[in-house]
Amino acid sequence: EVQLVESGGGLVQPGGSLRLSCAASGFTFSSYDMHWVRQPTGKGLEWVSAIGTAGDTYYPDSVKGRFTISREDAKNSLYLQMNSLRDADTAVYYCVRGDSSSRYPYYYYYMDVWGKGTTVTVSS
Amino acid sequence: DIQVTQSPSSLSASVGDRVTITCRASQSISSYLNWYQQKPGKAPKLLIYAASSLQSGVPSRFSGSGSGTDFTLTISSLQPEDFATYYCQQSYSAPPWTFGQGTEVAIK
A106 has pLDDT over 90: no
Query: pLDDT grade, residue A121 (50/70/90)?
Result: very high
b/e code B19-35 from CB counts within 10 Å (16+ = b): bebbbbbeeebebbbbb
B99 vs A contacts (CB less than 8 Å): 44-47
With beta carbons less than 8 A apart as the criterion, state whether A22 and A29 touch: no
Stretch among A24-33, A55-64, A105-114 having the lowest mean pLDDT: A105-114
| Pairing of the two strands B45-49 and A10-12 | unpaired
Residue A116 has its nearest CB partner, among B34, B43, B100, at: B43
For residue B67, give the amino acid letter.
Answer: S
The per-residue pLDDT for A103 is 81
The per-residue pLDDT for A5 is 98
A57 vs B contacts (CB less than 8 Å): none
Query: pLDDT grade, residue B53 (50/70/90)?
Result: very high
Residues of chain A numbered 54-93 and touching chain B (CB < 8 Å): 58-60
Query: pLDDT grade, residue A102 (50/70/90)?
Result: confident
B95–A112 CB contact, under 8 Å: no
A50 has pLDDT over 90: yes
